[in-house]
Amino acid sequence: MIVGVGIDVVDVARFLATLDRAPGLRDRLFTAEERTLPPASLAARFAAKEAIAKALGAPGTMRWQDATVHRVVGGAPQVDITGTVAARAAELGVDRFHLSLSHDAGIASAVAIAERD
């Protein structure tokens, strides 16, 4: 059963300009693993985290670093959740996410579907 759907779109150049203006933001938004990614991939990860939050009802208590989005060669991206994101997912009975990420022409986008059995 689908519990929630979230979508987000990010202007890559604008997002990178924001990271340049506020260097600490990169550390607050991304896990150590994610911080090494190229700019468009960072923007797509940010969009994915926003989409996941929306799929979970967008409670403002979730921490950005409690979701890590992984690229899977030949497959859909995966997300590992911990802490506040895992707690919200458990509260809603969510046991899996489906993610789709894209970045092209200066735009990064993500769709997340939260599902439970």
What is the mean pLDDT of the segment spanning 85-93? Answer: 96
pLDDT in tens, 24-53: 999 999 999 899 999 899 999 999 999 999
pLDDT of residue 93: 97
| Per-residue model confidence (pLDDT) at position 82 | 96
Please count the other Cβ atoms lying within 10 Å of the Cβ belonging to residue 103: 19
Q: In the chain, where do the E strands start and end?
A: 2-11, 67-70, 78-81, 96-104, 107-115
pLDDT range class, residue 58, cuts 50, 70, 90: confident
Set out the domains of the chain in order of their start, with CATH numbers. Answer: 2-115 (3.90.470.20)
